[in-house]
Amino acid sequence: MSLLDGRVAVVTGAGRGIGRAIAQLFVSEGARVVLNDLDEAPLAEAKAACDAIAEGHAHVSIGSVTDAAYTDALMQQAVDDFGSLDILINNAGITRDHVIHRMTDDEWSFVIDVNLGGTFRCIRSAAPHMRDVAKAELSEHGEVSHARKIVNLFSTAAIRGNPGQANYTAAKMGNVGLTRTVAQEWGRFRICVNAVAPGFTETRLTAAKEAGSELGIPEASRKASLAKIPFGRFGQPEDVARAVLFFASPLSDYVTGQEINVSGGLQIP
C-alpha cells in the first residue's frame, strides 16, 4: 500500500524542477497525475520519467495557469482521464526580478498573475470536482469518502523579503493568505489546504544568472545564500517534493491552513 494509491492529482508547472519531482514522487506513491506546463519539451521529458516509474500514470496538459478557460479544462481533464480530482498542487511559478524603482507594470502584473492569480484560478476551477463532490458526499452519506488536498507553493524569500523581488514576494505571500482562507472556507468539506515554502532549491529559477537572462540569480547572491544555510547545501527538488507529499497524503488529514519551510534550517528573521 502506497501513500497515494487510487488518488488523482494535478500538478502545475510539472515540466521542470520542483513540479517534476513532485509528479515523479506522486506516481511512485501510486497516484495518477495530470502534468501541466507551458512548455511542451520539458513536459514530454517529465511524462517519460513518470512512465518509467508506472506506465500510463501520467498524462500531460499544455497551457497557462493565467488562462481561466484553460484551468477549467485542466481540472476537467483529470476527471475525464482518471475519474476524479483528489489533489491539486499549485506549483507553477516564474520570476522577473528588478529593484522596485525600475520594475515595470508588466513585470509586476505578469509575476502576480502567474504566481498568485494562477493559484486562485486553479483552486476555483477545481471547486466543482473537489468542493462540490465532497459536499454531495456529505449530504448523501453524512461523511466524505476521503480528505482531499490542495498544496500551494510559496517561498522563504517571500517570508523574509528579498531585494529585487517585490512582485514575486508579494505574490508568494498572497498565496499564504489564499491558503489560510480557502482552508477555512472548505474545511467543512475536509479539503485540506496547506502551503510549502522552498528555501534555495536548485532549479532553473536559481541557476547562475547569465548575461541577458530573465531568470536565475547572480553568482555572488548564490554564494551569500549558501553561507546562510546550516545544512551547508542548497535544496534539491526532491527535498521539497517530500514535504508536498506529506500535505498531499493521509499523513496530514487533520492538518489545514498551515505552512512549512523546506530550507535546510535557514533562519527566517
Ligand X SMILES: NC(=O)c1ccc[n+]([C@@H]2O[C@H](COP(=O)([O-])OP(=O)(O)OC[C@H]3O[C@@H](n4cnc5c(N)ncnc54)[C@H](O)[C@@H]3O)[C@@H](O)[C@H]2O)c1
Q: Which active-site residues does the annotation give?
A: 168
Query: Which C-beta is closer to ligand X: that of 19 or that of 174?
Result: 19
Report the DSSP beta bridge partners of residue 33. Answer: 9, 58
Give contact residues for ligand X (rule: CB under 6 A): 12-13, 15-19, 36-39, 42, 64-66, 91-94, 114, 118, 153, 155, 198, 200-201, 203-206
Q: Is the dihedral of CA 39, 12, 239, 82 positive or negative?
A: negative
Rounded Cα distance between 184 and 189, Å, is 10
Min dist. Cβ of residue 205 to ligand X (A): 4
Q: Is the dihedral of CA 246, 196, 208, 210 positive or negative?
A: positive
Min dist. Cβ of residue 39 to ligand X (A): 5
CA neighbor of 33 nearest in space, from 91, 87, 80 = 87
First-to-last alpha carbon distance for the chain, in angstroms, is 41
Query: Which C-beta is closer to ligand X: that of 80 or that of 238?
Result: 238
Query: Which C-beta is closer to ligand X: that of 125 or that of 206?
Result: 206
Query: Which C-beta is closer to ligand X: that of 12 or that of 249?
Result: 12
Min dist. Cβ of residue 46 to ligand X (A): 8
Min dist. Cβ of residue 111 to ligand X (A): 9
Q: Are 178 and 116 in contact (CB under 8 A)?
A: yes
C-alpha dist (Å) from residue 150 to 51, 114, 179, 183? 24, 17, 9, 9
